Amino acid sequence: MSAVFDVGEREFMEKVIERSREVPVVVDFWAEWCGPCRQLGPALEKAANARAGKVELAKVDVDQNQSLAQSFGIRGIPAVKAFRDGRVAAEFTGAIPPPEVERFFDKLVPSEADELSASTDEESLRRALELEPHHPGASVALARILMQRGEFDEALALVEPLHADFSAIGLTARIKLEQIDKAPEAAFDAWDEGDYEAALERLQEALQTADEKEERDLVRQVMVAIFTELGPQSELASRHRRRLAAVLN
């Protein structure tokens, strides 16, 4: 498929919504009579073509697709909406300078560090961190490898500074529990094996038997990390979140 294409109401679901689950799709809502649209269009097309294979640009003529424009609340054009995983991930209205268009596209396209962090290879993860120190995905993935080898200090140094990432916070808590010999190993083994139900059940038990406030808080942080992995729609996470709240209150 070309990086730039026209799209109408009938194929919007397939070419934009479903396609955005594979690569980001930027949608340009425009019209032939719109002067700012003619200014912005070439910059959008240039940005999309420069990132061919990593992002696509769908052009919607609002005169020909009024229902589609209305459904997305388009009140002024040009209007640009970027779709990722079936949802609007970023947007702007009006003509913006080409450098801003480039920055808009850059935020949608995975960086080299993003791509490297998806690997399970230690060398790739270390390279990702050379490119972007404190990259959350690479830091957590590498810390897991180091933790499995018992290299707790280096693993902790990677994730402890990431205060806004629940996965990093949970892994930090897990490492600290290991260091103070308070680790619920059965729970951690189940977590590593992807058995979230068993992991959370064992963590609930660990929470009940924890002697100190610090230990209880570390167990709680590990549970929150697992809730994050399960996602906001998980019934298992919701059930254990309620149990956690009842214990803490």
CA distance 189 to 71: 48
Is the same domain home to 97 and 127? no
Q: What is the CATH number of the domain that holds 67?
A: 3.40.30.10
Is the same domain home to 121 and 244? yes
Structure tokens belonging to residue 119: 């690997």
Residue with tokens 């897991």: 144
CA distance 127 to 21: 27
Question: How much of the chain, in percent, has pLDDT values that exceed 70?
Answer: 100
| pLDDT-derived band at 174, boundaries 50, 70, 90 | very high
Which of the listed residues 78, 109, 140 is the one where a domain comes to its end?
109
Q: What is the pLDDT of residues 32-51, one digit of tens each?
A: 999 999 999 999 999 999 98
Is the same domain home to 189 and 141? yes
Report pLDDT for 52.
Answer: 85
Is the same domain home to 145 and 104? no
Is the same domain home to 91 and 176? no
Is the same domain home to 150 and 91? no
Are 98 and 108 in contact by the 8 Å Cβ rule? The answer is no
Which of the listed residues 93, 109, 125 is the one where a domain comes to its end?
109
Residue 32, helix vs strand vs coil? coil
Q: Is it the case that residue 207 has pLDDT exceeding 90?
A: yes
Residue 34, helix vs strand vs coil? coil
| pLDDT-derived band at 100, boundaries 50, 70, 90 | very high
Q: Is it the case that residue 211 has pLDDT exceeding 90?
A: no
Q: Tell me, yes or no, if 240 is annotated catalytic.
A: no
Is the same domain home to 190 and 88? no
Report pLDDT for 247.
Answer: 84
Catalytic residue among 3, 7, 25, 37: 37
CA distance 169 to 217: 11
Is the same domain home to 148 and 169? yes
Buried b (16+ CB within 10 A) or exposed e, 157-196: ebbbebeebbbbbbbbbbbbbbeeebbbeebbebbeeeeb
Q: Which domain holds residue 74?
A: 4-109
Which of the listed residues 48, 79, 109 is the one where a domain comes to its end?
109
pTM: 0.66
Is the same domain home to 117 and 87? no
Q: Whose CA is closest to 85, among 105, 67, 108?
A: 108
Mean pLDDT, residues 49-76: 91
| pLDDT-derived band at 1, boundaries 50, 70, 90 | low
Mean pLDDT, residues 54-66: 94
| pLDDT-derived band at 64, boundaries 50, 70, 90 | very high
Report pLDDT for 114.
Answer: 86
Contacts of 138 (CB under 8 A, 6+ apart): 113, 116, 117, 125, 128, 129, 132
Pairwise pLDDT comparison (84 vs 160), residue with the higher score: 160
Mean pLDDT of the chain: 92
Contacts of 59 (CB under 8 A, 6+ apart): 4, 5, 6, 7, 27, 28, 30, 41
Q: Tell me, yes or no, if 86 is annotated catalytic.
A: no
Mean pLDDT, residues 114-127: 91
Query: Which contiguous run of DSSP H or E holds residue 30?
Result: strand 25-30
Is the same domain home to 33 and 149? no
The total number of structural domains that make up the chain:
2
Catalytic residue among 4, 16, 27, 34: 34
Q: Is it the case that residue 227 has pLDDT exceeding 80?
A: yes
Report pLDDT for 115.
Answer: 85
Is the same domain home to 13 and 30? yes
Is the same domain home to 240 and 127? yes
